Amino acid sequence: MFKWIQGGISAVTGMAEPEYGASHLHSATARLTESKINPYSKASPEKKDFDFQNPQNTNVETATFYLNDLDTGYCGFAQIIHSNIGITTSAQFTFKLYNNKIEGFKQIWTSTKLENFSIQENGKDFKADNLDLQWTDDNCLKLQSEVNPESLVTLIFKPLTDGVKFGKDPHTYYGPSIEESWGSMRHVYMPRCSVEGSITNLKTGLVVDLTAGRTFGLYVMALQNMKPHHAAKEWKFVWFVNEKESLALMQFQTPRSYANGIVSTAIITDEDKVICCPVENETILIDEYKDEETGWSFAKEIDYKLKGHLIKEEDEEEAKVDADAAVEFELKGPLTTVIERVDVMNEVPQFVKNIVSGVAATKPFIYQYYTEDLTLTRSDKKDAEIKGTAWVEVTYIVDEREQQQQ
């Protein structure tokens, strides 16, 4: 979700849009459910699914490496942010590391501007001074960054399952039609990877050698090809993982301009298989309580209900579902630890803050949680209760309650 932070001017300028209505939202998930086609297509670097799209108009594109070491408790993410704000292109490396098992551990958070950056000729690799992201010949991802002495990072992500994109075209489009769109959103995933590598903080002397075979990762490439507060008013994200299973959910809700439409995608894996990709999901925050400083809310629990069909068979391009194998998953439990409440406006320059004062009710905050107490259940296996740890984010961008009062 940190692509919002480094969006620069594109993230905060522009007045509220007219109310175009649901007819101007063409979501990847609606195309799947309406046409009854397969829930996902296999994504791979050979097919250029993981290339940087790099459109010439205003956009923010991110490559995010989520990681979780089940033995040591270290979890977090590394992220490359590539932004085009119309007048210039910039790039940033952000990194966060958290540990719930070490008493008194203070999270590592760095955000560093990249110099002399470029997308490489093959479209998928990325280089900058002291940073290198590349796909290896055996389709592993290798990230090495020495741009900040507090977060020296070497990560190797080896995919354990197929890559995933929802439908043949994973874009959600905004505008009168797909052909006449004026903006879009795109996500492509490597939903379960094994992770090797190390993290070093030269300031504190911390060295983390990730546990081979017990550290898992999620890789997400995302493109936000329009102003973020026009594309979505809020986001929900969860990445749940244990030794055998994982679940990733990415959901956003559009502003009133696009009828508060919801685009929700989830990927559930078991061992080395993607078993279900639900797109009809209900995400409930339980026992919310008001954050008096922001006007938004914290939550004490989540109850996420996902509906889909089990994957029946796969070929080289896409997966086929079993029409008779409808299944419901439920991810439920307490959000035991608030990692951080991120004030996005603290992360952008002062002149951008001055501009945002003219954008009604735009006040972005990211609420990050970590929990070891979630349980995943499924309707086709009544006795199965799957335990795991999870990184949970709830992002608020536009407060439409305020807009209505103004």
What phi and psi, each to the nearest 5 degrees, are found at residue 186? -145, 135
Both tokens of residue 119? 């997308």
CATH number of the domain that residue 211 is part of: 2.40.370.10
Question: Smallest Cα–Cα separation from 317: which of 104, 101, 164?
Answer: 164
Candidates 73, 75, 74, 204; CA nearest to 150 is: 204
Backbone angles phi, psi at 330, to 5 degrees: -135, 125
| 3-state SS, one letter per residue, for 204-233 | CCEEEECCCCCEEEEEEEEEECCCHHHHCC
The pLDDT value given to residue 38: 61
Give, in order, the Cα–Cα distances in Å from 105 to each of 151, 216, 369: 15, 21, 16
Q: Which residues contact 179 (CB under 8 A, 6 or more apart)?
A: none
User: Running DSSP on this structure, what letter comes out for residue 315?
Assistant: -
What are the DSSP E strand ranges found in 39-182? 41-43, 59-69, 74-84, 89-99, 108-113, 118-119, 126-128, 131-135, 141-145, 152-159, 163-165, 171-174
Q: State phi, psi for 86 to the nearest 5 degrees.
A: 95, -45
* Least confident span in 30-39, 96-105, 208-217, 272-281: 30-39
Res. 33: pLDDT tops 90: no
pLDDT above 60 for 320? yes
Average pLDDT, the chain: 88
Residue 76: other Cβ atoms inside 10 A: 24
Higher-confidence residue of 115 and 13: namely 115
Parent domain of 36: 2-405
**Number of structural domains in the chain:** 1
Residue 87 pLDDT class (50, 70, 90 cuts)? confident
Q: Residue 123's pLDDT band (boundaries 50, 70, 90)?
A: very high
**Nearest partner of 199 among 68, 318, 33, 336, judged by Cα:** 68
| pLDDT tens per residue across span 158-170 | 999 999 999 889 9
Q: What would the two tokens of residue 167 be?
A: 């439908």
Kindly report, residue by residue over 56-70, the tens digit of the pLDDT: 888 889 999 999 999
Those residues whose C-beta lies under 8 Å from the C-beta of residue 345, and which sit 6 or more positions away, are 353, 356, 363, 364
**271 class by beta-carbon count within 10 Å (0-12 exposed, 13-18 middle, 19+ buried):** exposed
Q: Centre a 10 Å sphere on the Cβ of residue 287 and count the other Cβ atoms it contains.
A: 11
Distance CA 402, CA 340 (A): 24
Q: Rounded CA gap, 328 and 281, in Å?
A: 9
User: Residue 55's CB: how many other CB atoms inside 10 A?
Assistant: 12
pLDDT value, residue 84:
83
